Chains A and B, each alone.
Chain A
């Protein structure tokens, strides 16, 4: 009897020990596999970020970064004779913040709406569907600089196709200064960005739309839902998670906008973004300290907005669980 129990015990224990070691081995393999990525990230993102934070507390110049003094928070904000200095004391910084938020909210909202329309269209069955899906990708595949140059030409006040078209149709009486006018130039940037990034939005949303089973729409039709009700009550809630991810991606991207504005409008003050501001401090004025401070502020702004998106998303999910 006892021997039986003993043998039973050992046979029970052994598989357990094997299982644990298997788990350990899997954990070790996992670390091994992610290590290169972590190493790379630390090298190309972590280290530069730390250096930037470090320089933001110094008065180094761009051409002589090894000569510096610590100046505390002066690059961010300081007061002399009742006047504010530093990035946060610079009206142009606040102008660039306003520009960036304005640009991001307009371009991301327009992209979301138009991208959704394109995605809904591409989700229909019709001839040439594959061709359309490929063609739609073209604007996304074109480098931003090329996009900016192209739209720069199209928006040209004398030779541009946009003014020509509008004149011919009769919407405007004289050519508009798309690039030079402070109000129009921001819209020109938004147009170009929307054109370029709709494919991304549309394909993200299309992928989400295709995960919605067709029979749900049929059930909703039997239940008496109109097309609009099917969209708002079935489609939207079901693609919401994917839509939030797409929104986060696009918002991050839009907040960091630099090249499009720099090339399209030559970084005029009317359109300068926070990234453009940081670049000016760093390169144009050769001030490594305040340039780094501006960069750190950009980083904090983007990270903060990303975090709040993620937090809102988790709240939404939690609410759904209940």
Chain B
């Protein structure tokens, strides 16, 4: 188990391409941290710097308080799982897992014990003599994880380990990784572009955008209190809708905004006096929008597209911007068809508010566990 500390970490390729400007991060012992961000934002670069596969251009890195910038990957005591698995094709599963320990000249007995233990943990026992090419994607993924855990590293690094698997296998492996972390209690840094993986696996999520940390927090913190529009739209699927509005009255406990439609809303959000009169963005998640009575609703629009998922329905509303229509998520089947005009209501306690630069104003209410959840909790107790 290890603690990892990054201080003003900078990565610049060829003295001109600055991929990561300056990054600070503290990962505590035993923590599962997921770094999530869009493709090309520098996640792999960051992970490879932590691994020691890529030079740190500037800044400091400490593992358990020890300066580690110049240590080789093996000196850092990390185990890494690559997106492509990177299994040695000419070695059996057993040899793949044993390779690092053989290089470290561990006694054969100890190697055998650790390989078998890793194999048991990952249900690889029947496959130990196989070669990687004779295995399925999920099995290869397990071998890659086995190779990392058998060395008993201080720090696990995962680079999009599930992105080459099909959907059902991904869910299964996700649970296995979560269980593995629970059992081993090791420190994990896990990189992905998939916010669902981030939400389900992480103790804390680091949201990365263009090499910068946008926000760090627990999954629900990020969901309830995104610091800015980028985070708000990155967490949650389908992503949060942003409606242009004007802040007409600021306040400590409530703020009053006027939508484009002319309707007024009073939100439990704190805004400073200085922001009064500014144009703002009102955020509302697709799952929180309610159907309203046509002429009294907060907003009226026509439905341009309907997606039936079976258990739920996504309805896309015309907002004059064809590339980013607003989305309503209906928890049931919907009889509404494309072309129909509808009215929607925006429940004040579920609204978010962002200033002109995209920074969030502070929300004063957090989502509570729903009454149903409370009931079931009572029954359990």
A residues lining the B interface (CB < 8 Å): 213, 215-216, 218-225, 229, 233-234, 237-238, 320
Contact = CB atoms under 8 A, between A and B. Distances in A.
B99 A223 contact: yes
18 contacts: A215-B82, A215-B86, A216-B88, A219-B88, A221-B73, A221-B74, A222-B51, A222-B78, A222-B79, A222-B80, A223-B100, A223-B147, A223-B151, A224-B72, A224-B103, A225-B99, A233-B99, A238-B89
Contact of A213 (B48, B73, B84): B84
Contacts of A320: 90
B104 A224 contact: yes
Interface in B44-70: 48, 51-53
Chain B CB within 10 A, most for which of A213, A215, A219, A320:
A219
Contact of A225 (B79, B86, B103): B103
Nearest to A216: B86
Contacts of A224: 72-74, 100, 103-104
A219 B82 contact: yes
Interface in B84-98: 84, 86-90
Contacts of B73: 221-222, 224
A213 B88 CA distance: 10
Contacts, number: 55
Interface in B149-177: 151
Contacts of B104: 224
B53 A218 contact: yes
Contacts of B53: 218, 221-222
Given A215-B86, A224-B103, A234-B88, 10 more contacts: A213-B86, A218-B48, A219-B80, A220-B88, A222-B52, A222-B78, A225-B103, A237-B90, A238-B89, A320-B90
Interface of B: 48, 51-53, 72-74, 78-80, 82, 84, 86-90, 99-100, 103-104, 147, 151
Nearest to A221: B73
A229 B103 CA distance: 9
A224 B53 CA distance: 12
Interface centre among B72, B74, B87 (most CB of A within 10 A): B74
B135 to A, nearest CB: 16
Q: Which has the most chain B C-beta neighbours within 10 Å: A221, A223, A224?
A: A223
Contacts of A225: 99, 103
A215 B84 contact: yes
A233 B87 CA distance: 13
A87 to B, nearest CB: 45
Contacts of A229: 103
A232 to B, nearest CB: 11
Nearest to A234: B88
A223 B82 CA distance: 13
Contacts of B103: 223-225, 229
B34 to A, nearest CB: 20
Contacts of B100: 222-224
Contacts of A215: 82, 84, 86
A225 B52 CA distance: 13
3 tightest Cβ-Cβ pairs between the two chains A and B: A224-B74, A223-B100, A215-B86
B184 to A, nearest CB: 18
B235 to A, nearest CB: 30
A292 B100 CA distance: 58
B90 A221 contact: no
Given A225-B103, A229-B103, A218 B89 contact: no
A237 B91 CA distance: 10
Contact of B90 (A213, A219, A238): A238
Contacts of B147: 219, 223
A191 B201 CA distance: 63
A220 to B, nearest CB: 8
Contacts of A223: 74, 99-100, 103, 147, 151
Given A225-B103, A229-B103, A219 B86 contact: yes
